[in-house]
Structure 1
Amino acid sequence: MTDEQAPPPERHETVRVRRSPRIWNFVLAGVIVGAVVALILTFAFPIEGEFTAPQIFGFLFLFIGVVFGALGAVVALVVDRRSRRRAREIEVDRETVIGTDPDE
């Protein structure tokens, strides 16, 4: 009792192909730039008051890292919008494979 089915017809479809940026890489790059800016600002001014240099760096990094990370995400979104303009449409053949898994 084998249940043989006729293969489904092949379908031709048009799809859009584009390159898109990885947003988390841009966010990480922004946070790293923010850490460098926070480090520069920490030692650019004399330390006065009750906070030490590592504490000042930590405070600056919390705020500046978030701001630069958000700026990195905005840059990634702008690059993503520009990549949509360069998208190409190609025609593909869709195939459906019916059968058993050879690994089973």
Structure 2
Amino acid sequence: MSDIPEFPVETVAGDDIVTIHRAPRYFRFFAVGAIAGVVVAIILTLAFSGSQGFNLAQVFGFLALVFVVVGIGVGAVVALLIERSARRSARTITVERLEGGDEE
């Protein structure tokens, strides 16, 4: 018996053409936009604290609701622009499809 492991036999089943490009992680852009919206809401709440008939929590809640949605939208647009610019540098390559061996 030898200590050399036996490798499964693989054969080339065909060639495929694929396009490779980098894509942004959208959730991270949404999260950064939402956090930026909360920060803007905090700043505006403290800057305009002289609201008539509303306490600071109500003003912050309304501003946070608006600016979180706006921030997520801006984050989505930035992610789409980054993806569009990444598609310009996409490469098309040929890969070999293998058959045989362990199917795990």
**TM-score category, normalised to shorter length:** 0.7 to 0.9
Q: Give the distance between the partners of 1:22 and 1:9, measured in 2 at CA.
A: 34
% identical aligned pairs: 41
* CA displacement at 1:89 relative to structure 2: 1.5
**What are the superposed Cα offsets for residues 49-92 of structure 1, whole Å, 9 maximum, x if unpaired?**
22111111110000111011111101101111111111111221
1:62 aligns with 2:46: no
Q: Give the distance between the partners of 2:68 and 2:103, measured in 1 at CA.
A: 52
**Structure 2 counterpart of 1:57, one-letter code:** F
Provide the alpha-carbon RMSD of the alignment: 1.9
Higher relative strand content? 2
**Post-superposition, which runs of at least 4 consecutive aligned residues in structure 1 deviate over 4 A?**
98-101
Q: Give the distance between the partners of 2:51 and 2:71, measured in 1 at CA.
A: 26
Aligned residues: 95
Alignment partner for residue 39 of structure 2, among 36, 40, 45?
36
So what's the TM-score if we normalise by structure 2? 0.80
Map of 2:50 onto structure 1: 47
What stretches of structure 2 of length at least 5 have no aligned partner? 1-9
